Structure 1
Amino acid sequence: MQPVRRRITEILRDKGSATVAELAEQLGMAAVSVRHHLDILASEGLVELNGLRRRGGAGRPSQMYALTEDAYRLFPQRHDILTDHLLAELKAALPEAVVHEVLQRVAQRTVQEAPAQTEDQTVEERLAQVTDFLSSQGYEARWVARNDHYELHACNCPYAGVSGRHPEICLMDQVILQQLIPGTIRLESRVLDGTTHCRYLIPAGKKTNQTPDSQPDNNA
């Protein structure tokens, strides 16, 4: 991130909110320059207006700026460590079947956030929709068509810092795909076993052969 904008996010993180004048004073910059950087941060979804501050006298109130929830991803986080500890405690306290049930319910929450399937969707249309959704969840997913089946590739594991110690977490991916894609889904390979991506096989079903993505991926 550009250094001035990075510093603005740090100030807003520490103060909670600030006016343009306060930011300008702390940065040693002109207010017009600060507004320029705030506009860019706002366009990126990192900063938002957070009310008005009135000072003494009859002057106009000053707008307050604050970080959005998304902005906190810019700073160090410990989600993988927290998840690791939570799973370890669950596995220590609960029977294996109950742990699996909890993971399935977590997966179901993800499914509820996905775009709804329509009755007239082809398999290709649904795969395109699902891979877009999975990519938004961190999977970097794509799909390719083979002669008699489709393949869905998850090229990134969002749980890479956790799945090695808790392979049960992969159960969530299978539940998500079984809910989102019609037909029988078969896990063919996974990153946890040393491959470059998780690969799922899906029956061909109804094909249109009209989308660019439906052509075989010779690099896969």
Structure 2
Amino acid sequence: MNHGADVSTRKMILTMLKTKGPLSVSEMTRELGITEMAVRRHLNTLERDNLIASELVRQAMGRPMNQYSLTEHAEDLFPKKYQHLTLDLLEELESALGEDKVNLLFERRKQRLIRRYENRMEGKSLVDRVLELSDIQNANGYMVELERKEDGSFLLNEHNCPISQVANQYNHACSCELEMFKSLLGKEARVERMECLAKGGSKCAYVIQPK
């Protein structure tokens, strides 16, 4: 089985659904020039991966047929340049109202994130809080690697930063992340950032120690 060809065909199906809207199996078969059985095999894989969804559509004549469309998960596969818009808006705000107002936005975002996640920390030990924080950051795209040291401390490495281009220009975003960690982990933890992607590091690295 040619795995590369299978992946390429699935990408073509996703692109077709993105550009042409919901399509039936027969419509995709005509576009791709492959058998209906092959199309269904690819659709089964994409549906299993939660990238497409089907809906039974009634027709004026004949039997109802399934039409396939992209899910929200699939939309993440297509290029998005939100960081450019974000930077443009922040620069406009800074120009009009000053750097303090930009910093205030990051502070308010930090408080909102703390409120969103603090209930997940309630009643948990420091170890479980660290594990929960790792799960939160992973779910948000930070590609976390967590290591527990012999002395009971943790090394939390983030190999990706979804807001890196913003943080490169507005370092207060990084300060707010550190403060969020401290707030969520509680007073029994000492949190120190050892390395930062926005400041030229290869990753964001945090040392978390019990007090």
| Residue aligning to 1:60 | 63
So what's the TM-score if we normalise by structure 2?
A: 0.83
Distance 1:193 1:44 in 2: 36
**How big is each residue's C-alpha offset from its partner over 1:95-117, in whole Å with a ceiling of 9 and x where there is no partner?**
33332221122233444554711
| Residue aligning to 1:9 | 14
Larger helix fraction of residues = 2
Structure 1 pair 20/125, CA: closer, same or farther in 2 (3 Å)?
Answer: same
Distance 2:152 2:18 in 1: 53
| Residue aligning to 1:188 | 194
Structure 1 pair 179/10, CA: closer, same or farther in 2 (3 Å)?
Answer: same
Deviation at 1:62, TM superposition (A): 0.8
Deviation at 1:186, TM superposition (A): 3.1
Contact kept? 2:93, 2:101, Cα under 8 Å: no
1:157 pairs, out of 155, 161, 179, with 161
Instruction: Give the SS at the match of 2:164.
Output: coil
| Residue aligning to 1:45 | 50
Structure 1 pair 98/19, CA: closer, same or farther in 2 (3 Å)?
Answer: same
Instruction: Give the SS at the match of 1:118.
Output: coil
Deviation at 1:55, TM superposition (A): 2.6
Pairwise mapping of residues 168-179 of structure 1 onto structure 2 (< 5 A)? Answer: 168-179=172-183
**Unpaired segments ≥5 residues, structure 1:** 206-220
**Unpaired segments ≥5 residues, structure 2:** none
Aligned residues: 202
So what's the TM-score if we normalise by structure 1?
A: 0.80
Q: Counterpart of 1:16 in structure 2: which amino acid?
A: G
- The share of aligned pairs that are identical, in percent, is 28
CA RMSD, Structure 1 to Structure 2 (Å): 2.3
1:93 and 2:96 equivalent?
A: yes
Deviation at 1:18, TM superposition (A): 0.9
Q: Counterpart of 1:130 in structure 2: which amino acid?
A: L
Instruction: Give the SS at the match of 2:69.
Output: strand
Contact kept? 2:168, 2:199, Cα under 8 Å: no
Contact kept? 2:195, 2:203, Cα under 8 Å: yes
Structure 1 pair 109/12, CA: closer, same or farther in 2 (3 Å)?
Answer: farther
Higher RCO, 1 vs 2 (CA within 8 Å, ≥6 residues apart): 1
Structure 1 pair 17/180, CA: closer, same or farther in 2 (3 Å)?
Answer: same
Instruction: Give the SS at the match of 1:74.
Output: coil
